[in-house]
Structures are given as structure tokens and as C-alpha cells.
A and B are shown apart, each in its own frame.
Chain A
Amino acid sequence: MPEPKKPSIFRKLFRSLLRSPITRPVIQRMGGSMLRHMPGQITCRQFEDFLVDYLEDRLTAEQKKLFQRHMKVCPMCRASLHSYLKVIEMGQAVCAEDDKDHVFDAAPQELIDAIIDVARKNKPK
């Protein structure tokens, strides 16, 4: 099995700068400023604005390219999207579990009797 690639010195440095509460805001500000002024890049805010349309495949080809490019360069947005999708999947998984457990469960007998009773009374003559 190939050994996992060791992180480069730059990545290690970037990690430690991003971890520190003193340097993190500086790094973030620099990154934000770069994204705002760099042609062909969007900011995290714009990324967020595009998100729902991206997931519904409603972006234009150009917008989609910008969205995907931002995702490549911004670890924060990548992580944000990852957890955003994970929470949706968790909701769906829990819901599917509940349906599996309850679909064939009988509703309370009193409810069933009441419904049948009403139907009988209102039966067209």
C-alpha cells in the first residue's frame, strides 16, 4: 500500500497560522481581500449566495465555473458545504428509519375505529 503523502512545509505553516487565534484573522483578511479583487474569483459570501442554485443545477455555466473554482481554493467553504450536505443526509437517513419503523405500524385502534365509524355514518345512501 502506498504511504500517505506527507504535508508540505507550506501546508504545515498554513495549518499552524490558521489554528492560532492571533494569526487566523490576518490570514482570513488577506484571503478575503485577494478573493474580492482577483478576477475570476468569488467571495465566500457570493459562494453562499450561489449554493442553493448550484445544488438545484440552476447556475449558468459561468457561475458554476466560479463556484467550483472558489470551492477549490477555499477550505472553509469546502468544509461548510460538506457539513451542509451531511446534515441534509442525516435528516433523510433519520426520516427513512422512522418510515421503516412506522409504515406498517398500526395507528392506535381508537383512531382506526373512529375513522371507520365516521365513514359508516356518512356512507352515501
Chain B
Amino acid sequence: MSQRFSKNLSDKDGVMKIGDSDEADLVSRLVRGDEDAFATTVKENAGWMLNLARRFTNCDADAADCVQESFAILFKKIGEFQGRSKLKTWLHRVVVNQALMKIRKKTNLREQSLDQYLPEFDRNGLRIGPVRISDESVESLISNKEIAMKVRLAIAELPDIFRVILILRDLEGYSTAETAELLEIEEGAVRTRLHRARHALRKILEPTLGAKYLGDIL
């Protein structure tokens, strides 16, 4: 399961002071159909679920739909929840699935290309064209709000299949095998598309990073 998300969960749990026994109690109340437990669960989770769904779908209305549908699934299937994972981890997976279904309905995830962003090579297999590189640290780049916004927009700009794979693998921390399973494609296809998505992101962001040409810093 998502490493980054698991890490966030422990942070969140620390703040919310929800321990295992509290969660077991909450789940048993949900199973009994306790309305207060439903309301608490919705209030505590809708915010991050909406944020996650928005990252995948790029659309507020679709993200809200995903959250609604995810809670509908939670209420319907809470009886089947066996407590092998945390409730939030389970909800995370449900939101991701709902978001993927939403995207699938809108686009064909298989028919998109990003070849124009791939690096070019000469006939000897040597890299052509300048490689740009920025020596500023990630922290200092991201502290610039304008650059942070450009990173968000660059991710949002990627075609659906590439954006989804980049989010699952690099941002949400799913493994290649988990990503392939979620998207029902081969692991090799995940790697190829991930590679292209990263290259595209780099190409889109290059001009905004104050990058220098390699020849200038050698």
C-alpha cells in the first residue's frame, strides 16, 4: 500500500488521537448504522479524500462525485471491512478506484502519446540537444509559490494515463505491480509510461526552473 500515505496516516492519527481501539469502536458503530459515527467519519475524511480525488480527476465536480460514491461504498460494504488495514487506508484505495473509473468513463486511457517529450539521440546513440540543469535545492525551488503552482499545473497538464501513473507511482507511493493491477495493464507498460510522464514533466518545467545549460556548469 501507499508508503507516503501510510506515513501521512501515522501523522494524522497522532493529531486526531484515534488509536486502534478507537477505530475498532468507530467501525463497529458504523456497522450498527450509528448516524453519529457516519457523520464523524465523513467530517474527518471528506477533506483529504476530496483533495486526492481532485489530484486524479483535475475537476472539482468529478472529485466531489468520487467522494460521494466512495462513502456510498463505505456505508454499503462496512460489514465486509475486516480491519486488516486501517479504515483510512481502505478509504484511500476506494477513492483511487472511484477516480480511475471516472477518468476511464471520460477518456480512453490507452490511446495517448508523449513521444514529443522524450530525449533525442543521434545515430551513435548519443544524447542530442542541451541538457538543462538547476543547482537550486528542491526546498528552495518549491518555497517559491509561483514555481510550486507551475509544478501543479504541469502535472495537471499531462494526458490522463500518464498523469494517473505518475500520481500513483511517484506521488502516492504505489508500487509498479500495484499500479499495473489498478489500471489493468502490464507492469512493463507502467514503467514505460512513467518514464515518459517524468520526461514530459521535466520538459514542461525546464524553462521555469531557472535551469542553466550543461555547458555553463561543467
Contacts and interface: CB of A to CB of B under 8 A. Distances in A.
Given A95-B171, A120-B35, A87 B202 contact: yes
B68 A86 contact: no
What range describes how many residues of B lie at the interface? Answer: 35 or more
B15 interface: yes
A111 B191 contact: no
Contacts of B35: 116, 119-120, 123
Classify the secondary structure of B's interface with A. Answer: helix
Given A75-B218, A123-B35, A80 B131 contact: yes
Interface string B122-143: 1011111001111000110110
Classify the secondary structure of A's interface with B. Answer: helix
A87 B155 CA distance: 11
B131 to A, nearest CB: 4
B142 A90 contact: yes
A119 B75 contact: yes
A114 to B, nearest CB: 7
Contact of B48 (A33, A93, A103): A103
A56 B191 contact: yes
A53 B50 contact: no
A56 to B, nearest CB: 7
Contacts of B115: none
B119 A48 contact: yes
Contacts, number: 178
A79 B214 contact: yes
B125 A111 contact: no
Contacts of B195: 51-52
Interface string B40-72: 001100111111000100000000100110011
A119 B38 contact: yes
Contacts of B8: 99, 103
24 contacts: A14-B218, A31-B126, A32-B122, A35-B124, A35-B125, A35-B126, A43-B124, A48-B121, A52-B192, A52-B194, A52-B195, A56-B176, A75-B214, A75-B218, A90-B138, A93-B139, A94-B148, A96-B4, A102-B47, A104-B15, A105-B51, A116-B35, A116-B39, A119-B71
